A and B are shown apart, each in its own frame.
Chain A
Amino acid sequence: MTDLARWQFATTSIYHFLFVPVTIGLSFLTALLQTSWHRSGNPELRRLTRFFGVLLVINVAVGVVTGLVQEFEFGMNWSAYSRFVGDVFGAPLAMEGLAAFFLESTFLGLWIFGWDRLPKRTHLACIWLVAAGSMLSAAFILAANSWMQHPVGYAINPTTHQPELNNVLALFTNPTFLWGYVHVLLASLVTGCAVMLAVSAWYLRRKVEVEAFKRAAHLALIVLIPSLGLALFVGSELGVVEDKYQPIKIAAAEAQWNTCQPCSFSAFQIGGGKHDMTPTKVIAIPDLLSFLATNSFKGKVVGLTPLQQQYTKQYGPGDYIPNVFIQYWSMRIMAYLAAALFAFALWGAWLMRRGKLALSRWFLVLAGWAVVVPFLMNTAGWMLTENGRQPWIVQGLMKTTEGVSSSVSTTEIWISLITFVLIYIVLGVADLVLMMRYARRGLPDEQAVSAPGEGELPGGALPEMAY
């Protein structure tokens, strides 16, 4: 029952988070494109803005509707959790709606339909507000999630035994939130850049609109490199924060059963997992784990076995060790892919500097494949974060098994799980078909940009809307 509800939450939120980072990243990049068009007046930039704007809109549609599912799911599947934590956890969600969702959706509507109806400057402000709204929304949801990782700013009510908010600022100064939020923002920029780079590379390879897409590819690389570099750094700092507040999460990610000081980092291992405490560590880099977990090469990392003993003493008998296999590999998949992508981006920058970006067939082909990488990284990152908190739904306060809706039957969860999976498959296929078609359709004609629909349909009906 709990497993099923967890599967459902994992499936729906992972799926949702395929679209969210694209929205955040691409809205920011589209805003940058439009700003540079606004500054330079170069019509090519306007065409690029519109082109990537369509990809953004297609993506937002799925992101929004899958977000609705997440919002409802707390109450539907996790009502015991919702009742228990609503006093604290509900606030950031409500703030998200009021401060971010309204902003994002209203100004997206204004931006899509306002190209020729709004003054240029106002219209530019709209896309920036969309970007701001999407980033703001991530802030609130990350604050809520960080509270589950490291609860702060609350006191337990002595009569109801439930956490009650007593310091809202603490939610937004929670170290887990601060580092986690910046990490997510940077990862989203990376994702958006990878999408932009892949699309541009596709055109460059075919020598279509070379000048325009060279610009887009350059922009993507220029944003990608610092974002990814910072994401690596911030992610590693987040690891230090987590080692402080959720040491068992980090110990599990390193499959570190015994306390060590200093600790070597296992780059690769065969076997391992929750029931295999002696995996074959293929490469062990001395002292590196100490540094990653504590910022000091001589730092101490407490192992899983002593932590389990400590938690048993503190919270009573139980299994407090998350799935070590998932922890170990999600952390490595994320980090290794990030390193590979970083190297790839540096290669791109080198080509760019030498003016050969559009000529390197290898780079352009690989850029098309590299787009998959950030999605894998994002998913692995969330698995690391969420799986590492288990068996807790709120670290130290409530176990996941206690959070589910007692009134909801296994059958009902099966029905909803299957429904969501089916709908998500259809949405995913439709989204992919549309994205591919539009991505390959090319830049809008200048003529079409200045007078959409003219001469195509009687009465200036929208070609967009027409059957």
Chain B
Amino acid sequence: MLALHTLWFVVIVFFWTGFFVLEGFDFGVGVLHVVVGRNSEERAEALESIGPFWDGNEVWLIVAGAATFAAFPGWYATMFSSLYLALLLVLAALMARGVALEFRSKLDDPRWRRAWTWATVGGSALVPLLVGVGLGDLLAGLPVNQSHNFTGNFFDLLTPYGLWTGLTLLMLSLLHGATFLLLKTTGELRERSATAARRLVWPAAIAMLAFVIWTRAIAGPHFPSPLIALAAIAVLAAPYLISTQQAGWAFATSAAGMATAVVSIFVALYPNVLVSSTNAAYNLTVSNSSSAKYALTVMTVVAVLFLPLVLLYQGWSYHVFRARIGHGKTPADPTPPAAAATTEPTG
């Protein structure tokens, strides 16, 4: 029977994957909106594509953290205190972009706009990069002693594998954002999104391939070959789908590539949850850092009750806002973008 702590490891991997697959594209859009949008309205349109979603996407990060706290307090404690300065930057970046997305458009002042635009771009790029470094470090190993306390400094966080993981997740987020824009925009915006996707797909594919090979090298032979196959398929299919502008499939492929990358880290990690570079005996594992059976059982019941519900209503919200943004609106769908009057009354 599947042990409860293994189940919770899987649940946490699911949360991290959900976070990168969903928020990944809104990070990408956050960076690319200044590339595909040449003027104010175009940039606004690009950002509108993620308007209803990004906040809900971010909750995946919160639950990944909170579920780790509940199911693996030891892991949560060591991971968050080790990655201290990196997480501080993540928080600063998340705050900057979160507020920027809500505030930017609400005043007409050009300086106000410019400041928040760059907060959006910077924040959106930094988060996947830094969180990627952090997740990569779990596998690459951090100096952790017998009592599971971090003994290193900031520079110990910059492991080569961690950095490459961060770079890969950043590239994949950018690509994912481009395919999302391809799916959601029209006209010139869509043209430029296609160009951006074409330019991004090869660097992202190469980063991804190298990342998977590197991960396989660390994990050794028990790394499942289907993951490698999946990565290879995504890497091969993406350029074709993008060049033929099959937006839906291109987006599905970038999502699959992202999911493969995130899952790879954790598959290679298991049954460890944080590797100690000091001594393998000090590794944090699913069993030595987990909560006791009762707490895990309670959490399992809660997850079984709520997770399907969450997937259902988040899925529904994507369904409600499935229409493309902007000029290409058909006369049959004259839906005026809603927040307009809410947020900028002309009175």
Contact = CB atoms under 8 A, between A and B. Distances in A.
Contacts, number: 327
B151 A407 contact: yes
A86 B77 contact: yes
Nearest to B333: A117
Contacts of A430: 99, 103
A101 interface: yes
A118 to B, nearest CB: 7
Contact of B310 (A50, A57, A98, A114): A98
Determine the interface band of chain A, counting residues with CB < 8 A from chain B.
35 or more
Interface in A415-467: 415-416, 419, 423, 427, 430, 433-434, 437-438, 441-445, 447-449, 451-454, 456-467
Interface in B36-75: 39-41, 43-45, 47-48, 51-53, 55-56, 58-59, 62-63, 65-67, 69-74
Given A94-B69, A430-B103, A466-B44, A115 B292 contact: no
B324 interface: no
Interface stretch (A104-112, A283-291, A295-303): A104-112
Contacts of A108: 55
Contact of B53 (A101, A109, A412, A445): A109
Q: Is the interface of A mostly helix, strand, loop or mixed?
A: helix
B295 A87 contact: yes
Given A98-B302, A98-B303, A412-B85, A110 B92 contact: no
A104 B111 CA distance: 31
A72 B343 contact: no
Interface of B: 39-41, 43-45, 47-48, 51-53, 55-56, 58-59, 62-63, 65-67, 69-74, 76-82, 84-85, 87-88, 90-92, 94-96, 98-99, 101-103, 105-107, 110, 113, 148-151, 291-292, 294-295, 298-299, 302-303, 306-307, 310, 313-314, 317, 320-321, 326-327, 329, 335-347
Rank and list the top 7 A-B pairs by shortest CB-CB distance, nearest first. Answer: A86-B73, A467-B40, A75-B80, A465-B44, A444-B345, A452-B340, A90-B70
29 contacts: A65-B95, A76-B81, A79-B80, A83-B77, A83-B78, A86-B74, A87-B73, A90-B70, A90-B73, A94-B302, A98-B306, A102-B56, A105-B58, A107-B313, A109-B56, A113-B321, A114-B52, A116-B338, A407-B82, A412-B84, A430-B99, A434-B103, A449-B341, A452-B340, A452-B341, A464-B44, A465-B45, A465-B47, A466-B44
Given A68-B94, A102-B310, A114-B52, 14 more contacts: A53-B342, A58-B102, A102-B314, A113-B321, A114-B338, A407-B149, A427-B95, A448-B346, A459-B41, A461-B41, A464-B105, A465-B45, A465-B337, A466-B44
